[in-house]
Structure 1
Amino acid sequence: MKLLLLLCLSVPSFCYGFSIPFFNSQKDPSDEYLHSMPYTKEEILEVRRKLNLSLVSDPDEYLSVPQLITKYGYPVEEHFTKTSDGYILRMHRIPPTKPGVTPNGEVVFLMHGLLMSSADWIILGPEKALAYYLADQGFDVWMGNARGNTYSRNHTRLKPHKSKFWKFSWHEIGTKDVPAMIDYTLKVTKKKALFHVGHSQGTTSFYVMCSELPKYNKKIIAHVSLAPIAFMKHAFSPIVRFASQLLVVPKTLLSIFGMNEILPHSALLTFLGNHFCAEGEKTEFMCRDVLFAVTGFDRAEFNDTLLPTFLGHTPAGSSARQFYHYAQLVKSGKFRQYDHFPFNSLHYGPLHPINPPSYNLKKVKAPVYLFYSNNDWLSHPKDVDNLCSKLGNCKSKTLVAENRFNHLDYVLGKHAKERIYTEVTEQVLENSLKEWRLRNSLTAEDEDDVLLEDGFDDDSASDEEYEDQDE
């Protein structure tokens, strides 16, 4: 048994298949409409008892996001909103009501990456995690959860055990999920616009939203991209590049066996994290290296003590199509919509019989601030340069000073606060807020002229005229 569990650590896909009949403790979705915590302390301890292992555990590994926030002395709220196609999304909020904190009246919306959740923004703990740091500065902090992850596995009609539930990629997250959550947040807070911070897929979905739905540019004071992902031609990760070359094979096999969800959260993964990945365990290095093989090696920034807690919340699940869509970007070198070849003309019309249409990044007119690093094996500096040149309003590119900084360090790095968060808060958010207030202090007539001049309301740029060429 232990040999099988060790194999799970090094081969995640095997772990997923092995866990289905024995350790996946998720209840039938028909049993409940809104789950607040799919895997409880008792369920995890039961796995330990069956394997005759220690019952001592790190409490943070099985606490939900609201429980973690409450544990560390911050106020928390859970909110739900519905997308236009029926998905029910859960958001977590840290309102600016903590004793001793003076609210600054501004809202920040945080959006997680692939296979992750709102837990990303609090894993580092008080005074270090971005959500807590922003809350301490007086911001009203909202954290989104994309359809299909641990906290957003509900729909008005569809159930997660049905394949139709999983027929989406990050295109739908960008065109439906993020807009729905932003609209809800602005309605509750009675604001006209907010700050948006994304990590990895959280940046991808933002570019999709603002290029496909340009009216949302006006609802964004500024967007901060941590490890931006749009173009992936130069992605260095050997695992990602190998997977992109086998694009058709895994898609076909998964479809045949009905595996539409990839790496859902399970009691097994939480157990593995606590028993095999805890600091001091002989197998700890395997846990780190599996992550590093995808994101880039950086042992100096990696906090070993947080690994069990991280694996207690991640992976949080995603659709297979999200992976396929990224693999298509790696293979094509373009930032395009989902490739349905040979049926693209049925989805996108006769003008796109072979390739899907590219996202028109010229329409992304909200101020965008890019933070990238040399050791990020998914977000390569050359791809970031290409992205900035194509965005409609790329305000700046900031190369992280530490050369070893990898893709996960933006949310898990020991010095993420010093290297990233302080600059985001003290420079980017502060300066962009001044610019936004200046623009909104104009008369209504003048404001319309400025918006049109800046391109915020200009939807005239034809997608057919957009050139998506390598640079």
Structure 2
Amino acid sequence: MLPLLLALLLAGNAAADLDATLIRDASLTTPELIEAYGYPSQTHTVQTEDGYILTLHRIPHGRSSNATGEPVFVQHGLLSSSADWVLTGPDHALAYILADAGYDVWLGNFRGNTYSRQHVRYTADDNEFWNFSWNENGKFDLPAMIDYVLNYTGKEKLYYAGHSMGTTSFFVLNSLKPEYNDKIRLMFSLAPIAFMNHVTSPFLKALAWSYEFDEILWDDLGLYKFFTNSAILKAAGEDLCEDGAVTQSVCSNILFLTVGFDTTNLNKTLLPVILAHTPAGAAAKQFLHYSQEVVSAHFRQWDYGLFSNIAHYGRTAPPDYDLSAVTAPVFLFYADNDWVSNIVDVTKLNASLANPVTMYHVDWQPYNHLDYLWGIHSKELVYDVMLKYMPNY
């Protein structure tokens, strides 16, 4: 994605100046965005067991009430950050909708993204910093953030909403540390990812087919991280993706080629703001672990290779995550046009969980993997469904 955007930028395909609000929103941080739209904002930090410093952004209540309700922990997916839950504004963004409904909203940030690039020993320039996959997100990041939220609020349980890798890491956590199931009122799985061998995304399939080569390439060349310089994408987005730019359709099509086409549910005017915040950075190993899942047809821990697996696990293949240990109630959302979270894989996941609530079909045929974040109609199609079920748990 990045090389094509840069090439177009250098070609000078720019249009008129952006709207002032879009320029502002592209430059603001998550807490600044929250405050700009009239909501209270707090920033909290927590240290993981293995030394990463993570940032949480909180909206303790909505605009019309000072009452703080039950906590909802919302976790982003791969290449995303807390910003993705507020970018579309008060009428459309999940974080604001939850806050206005009376909930205490906590937005997590996984290690390596824009807001979580500190460590007690390493800097983000050290290769050692980036030696993690979504296994570590589930094993270390989520328990640290969940425990912090519960300790800070004095609550025993919280609601959990995760998107994509935010679902994968949840299943990792609750299979490896089953005691965390008792801390979850209800888990909403938006575009759930565990089993992946039915993905239809050309990008992910190509990555999976070549992952052994990619592992050697990235490891040997030291390419341990992706998309950690948001300034480049911000500049590209402002010139290439604004209304009136002849290249705006290219911006949206780049997104669609990975996750599925849905031109009717994306507000293209927001593309400069989206690209200013997303992608927010990721470790190469996170991509590689997903590639292993596509090839293996298993939901399992990191594959070190035959002999290294014996050293690490005492067996030739990595162990599967025990999804039967996930006893928290799980509500699975799936969509026909999601090229990453395929209905066959979601069905297999649903059958493997100990306490699935339901598989909910999003009633919009073009709905894709990223519409859960930025879709124009996501409030009616997904968020209102969540609000309907939450009081029952």
Note the 1:293-442 alignment, pairs <5 A.
Answer: 293-342=257-306, 343-349=308-314, 352-353=315-316, 355-426=317-388, 428-432=389-393
Corresponding residue SS for 2:238: helix
Q: In 2, Cα distance between the equivalents of 1:205 and 1:67?
A: 27
Counterpart pick for 2:32 among 64, 67, 73:
67
Which amino acid counterpart does residue 322 of structure 1 have in structure 2? Q
Match 1:77 to one of 42, 45, 51:
42
Unaligned runs of 5+ in 2: none
Quick check: 338-347 or 68-77, which moved more?
338-347
Q: Secondary structure at the match of 1:143?
A: strand
Name 1:281's counterpart in structure 2.
Answer: 245
Contact 1:265 1:313 in 2 (8 A): no
Q: Match of 1:101?
A: 65
Moved over 4 A (4+): 51-57
Q: Aligned residue for 1:462?
A: none
**Alpha carbons 1:372, 1:398 under 8 Å: kept:** yes
**Are 1:142 and 2:106 matched, yes or no?**
yes
What is the aligned partner in structure 1 of residue 186 from structure 2?
Answer: 222
State, as a whole percentage, how many aligned pairs show the same letter: 46
Partner secondary structure for residue 180 of structure 1: helix
The one-character-per-residue Cα deviations of 1:311-347 (angstroms, maximum 9, x if unpaired) are 0000100100000000111111110111110311111
Q: What letter corresponds to residue 69 of structure 1 in structure 2?
A: I
**Residue equivalent to 1:456:** none
Name the CA distance, whole Å, in 1 between partners of 2:227 and 2:279. Answer: 6
Indicate the SS of the match to 2:159: strand
Larger radius of gyration: 1
Offset of 1:55 from its aligned partner?
7.3
Separation in 2, partners of 1:64, 1:124: 14
**Structure 2 CA distance, aligned partners of 1:331 and 1:99?**
47
3-state DSSP of counterpart to 1:359? coil
Q: Report the alpha carbon displacement of residue 429 of structure 1 after superposing the two structures with TM.
A: 0.8
Normalised TM-score (structure 2): 0.95
Q: What TM-score does the superposition give when structure 1 sets the normalisation length?
A: 0.79
Say yes or no: does 1:8 pair with 2:4. Answer: yes
Distance 1:263 1:245 in 2: 22
- Summarize the alignment of residues 157-172 of structure 1 with structure 2, pairs less than 5 Å apart: 157-172=121-136
Contact 1:154 1:160 in 2 (8 A): yes
Cα distance in 2 for residues equivalent to 1:234 and 1:140: 36
Q: Is the 8 A contact 1:295 1:376 kept in 2?
A: yes
2: CA distance between counterparts of 1:396 and 1:103?
Answer: 31
Give the direction of change, closer, same or farther, for the CA distance of 1:166–1:230 in structure 2 (3 Å limit). same
Indicate the SS of the match to 1:81. Answer: strand
**Closer, same or farther: CA 99–374 of 1 in aligned 2, 3 Å:** closer
Q: Where do residues 188-207 of structure 1 align in structure 2 (5 Å cutoff)?
A: 188-207=152-171
1:406 is paired with a residue whose SS is: coil
For residues 55 and 219 of structure 1, do their structure 2 counterparts lie closer, same or farther at Cα, with a shift above 3 Å needed? Answer: same
Gaps of 5+ in 1: 10-14, 19-46, 433-471
Matches within 5 A, 1:170-189: 170-189=134-153
Equivalences, count: 387
1:258-277 superposed matches below 5 A: 258-277=222-241
Partner amino acid for 1:164?
E
Deviation of residue 6 (structure 1)? Answer: 8.8
Higher relative contact order (CA 8 A, sep 6+): 2
| Distance in 1 (alpha carbons) for counterparts of 2:63 and 2:167 | 32
Distance 1:344 1:235 in 2: 26
Give the SS at the match of 1:109. Answer: strand
